[in-house]
Amino acid sequence: MLANKINQQLSHPSKSLAGWLASRFFLWHNKVLEENAVKLLQIQPDDTVLEVGFGPGLGLRAAAPLLTSPKGKLIGVDYSEYMVSKASKAVKKHIASGKISLIRGNVLEMPLPNNSIDKIYHCNCYYFWPDLKAGTSELHRVMKPGALMVTTLKHSSIKTIASKSFLRGDNWQPELYMEALCATGFTDIRIQELKDGRTSFQAVFATASK
Ligand SMILES: C[S@@+](CC[C@H](N)C(=O)[O-])C[C@H]1O[C@@H](n2cnc3c(N)ncnc32)[C@H](O)[C@@H]1O
C-alpha cells in the first residue's frame, strides 16, 4: 500500500502533499544527475535538445543557458501535469523568450516529428516506462541521424529503492534499458562510471543510427 503510493509519486507526481514531497526530493537528490547529463551532452549553441521526464526542472535550468544561438531550442516532455506546472514556473523566463517549450506528453507516444532532435537527456525516468522498447523506439524516431542520448543514474540508490518495492518490475535495470536501445536502432551504447565530488553515478551513452 505505502510502496504503491511511493511508486505512484515517483513515477507520476500529482498535486498533493506527497507530490510536493517527491518534487522536493528530486531537487535535493538528483541535482548531480541532471547537471552532469547536461554537461556530458556537450550542447552546442544552436542544438535542438530534448529532456524527457524533467520533473521540477533542474536539468532544464542547466541546459537553457548553453543554447545561446537564436536557433538553439530546448524541449521538455513529461506526462505529469503537476511537474509541467512546477517546471514551467522554474523556467518561466526561458518559456517567455521562446527558448524552452514544455509539453505534457508520454514518452511512449512522443508528441514530436521524426528526425527533429540533436540531443536527448533523461535522469530517473526510464524505470517507469511500462515498455522499454516502445520508449526507446519513440526516442529514436524523433532523433536526427547520429544524434546522441545521455541517461544518468545512481545504480546503488535505484537498487535500494527497487529492493523496497518502490519500483514496479525490473525495467530499472540498466542492462535491460541498454538491451532495449540495442534492439531499437541505437549504436555505440556504453555505460560509464563517473564521479562528481564524492558522488558516484553512471551515464549511458547511445547514438541514433539511421
Ligand atoms: C523520478 S521523476 C525524475 C525527475 C527528474 N528527472 C529528476 O531526476 O529529478 C520521474 C519523472 O519522469 C516522468 N515520467 C515518468 N514516466 C514518463 C513517461 N512515460 N512519459 C513522460 N514522462 C514520464 C514523471 O512524471 C516524473 O516527472
Instruction: Check which CATH number belongs to the domain holding 43 and give it.
Output: 3.40.50.150
Provide the pLDDT for residue 93.
97
Atom nearest to 80 CA in ligand 1: 25
- pLDDT value for 24: 66
**Residue 84: its pLDDT value, please?**
97
pLDDT given for residue 9 in this prediction: 66
Q: 89, 192, 204, 195: which is closest to 148 by C-alpha?
A: 204
Q: Report the chain's mean pLDDT, rounded to a whole number.
A: 92
Give the domain range for residue 9. 2-208
CB 94 within 8 A of CB 100: yes
The pLDDT tens digits of the residues spanning 161-183 come to 888 887 788 999 999 999 999 99
Q: Ligand 1 pocket, 79 CB below 6 A?
A: yes
Domains held by the chain: number: 1
pLDDT of residue 160: 87
Q: How far apart are CA 33 and CA 35, in angstroms?
A: 6
- Is a pLDDT exceeding 90 seen at residue 134? yes
201/157 Cα distance (integer angstroms): 10
**Tens-digit pLDDT profile for residues 44-67:** 999 999 999 999 999 999 999 999
Q: Is 83 in the pocket of ligand 1 (CB under 6 A)?
A: yes
- Residue 112 pLDDT more than 90? yes
Cα 38 to middle of ligand 1, angstroms: 16
Q: Which atom of ligand 1 is nearest the CA belonging to 122?
A: 6
Percent of the chain residues topping a pLDDT of 70? 90
